[in-house]
Structure 1
């Protein structure tokens, strides 16, 4: 059974959350930035099969070179023209993380290349910087930020989920392990008012 660990949980640096999803296909979701993620991966698993990016802001990708050098893996992301992306993930493509299949949802607004990964059974989502716990949502004051598109993307994620969604793993802050859809609903209401 796949296990999801946040390797950045104890780090006090400018980084995103970094999720190691182990199982049949061990994958790192966002390598993070400014900490020794390679040692943390090595202490938990014998290897890595791929790196998957939610988006290409520096706090999510700063450690990418160290990870690809240590584990000789491809980096998967939405924008095939980005220097770090080896393999393109198109919208609505299914990819395997750990022991489960996930659907890639293109969710721009925070950044044009932003993806969320929703487990095909609907129980888990990697939300990147689209939504956070307790109704938070991604900034739109950065390059490529677009608040109306962010609201549309949150609506798209909400429409793709139902009450079976238990786990939400966001790019920053705590993960949610029950009633995760409620947090997306809160984020949508907040973003619509913002």
Structure 2
């Protein structure tokens, strides 16, 4: 079960998904709000948060990392170990346990060099970070490390892995997509090529 702990927050933040199960994981930590109390509302013991997994290290996704590390003694996982928010490396195409399911990590640069998406065929779920959004939105490429051509390649790579059986796409900003999410990935691929 996944819940967005940043829901209803008006401050500038990314979404932050708490996925409970065999391995309770926070996917992105968000920023500028008290995430620790929101985790404690759902997790009983302070050692019940097993890990923080980062889609990428833009400040709005990692601003709360230190607070989560301090409160739960949880290590972080991401693509680039040179980033201060990353304790452990997730390599491209490695398997990552999130909740009760295994996800494949896909290195998807273009929005930021260390961007990862996480896809589980068994769970029929995707954590897309800031690569793609609802209604064909896609990650900005006007920030440092942004590259439109690389972003398009990353979206195409994602399209080659997921298919129209995808049931849920959890994105870095805005609502999760649970109605035909693959169509939104397709729309993002087209929109990125146009603009």
Give TM-score scaled by structure 1 length: 0.97
Contact 2:101 2:123 in 1 (8 A): no
Q: 3-state DSSP class of the match of 2:177? A: coil
**Count of residues in Structure 1 that have an aligned counterpart in Structure 2:** 192
**Displacement, 1:55?**
0.2
Match of 1:15 in 2: 13
**Displacement, 1:122?**
6.4
Q: Distance in 1 between matches of 2:190 and 2:40?
A: 41
Which ranges of structure 2 fall in alignment gaps of 5 or more residues?
none
Q: 3-state DSSP class of the match of 1:43? A: helix
Contact 1:122 1:162 in 2 (8 A): no
Q: Distance in 1 between matches of 2:39 and 2:74?
A: 13
Contact 1:110 1:146 in 2 (8 A): yes
Deviations 1:168-188 (A, max 9, x none): 000000101131100000000
Tell me, yes or no, if structure 1 residue 30 matches structure 2 residue 28.
Answer: yes
Q: 3-state DSSP class of the match of 2:186? A: helix
Match of 2:168 in 1: 167
Query: Where does 1:169-188 land on structure 2 (aligned, <5 Å)?
Result: 169-188=170-189
**Displacement, 1:162?**
1.1
Deviations 1:136-188 (A, max 9, x none): 00000000000000000000001101111010000000101131100000000
Q: 3-state DSSP class of the match of 2:158? A: helix
Which ranges of structure 1 fall in alignment gaps of 5 or more residues?
none
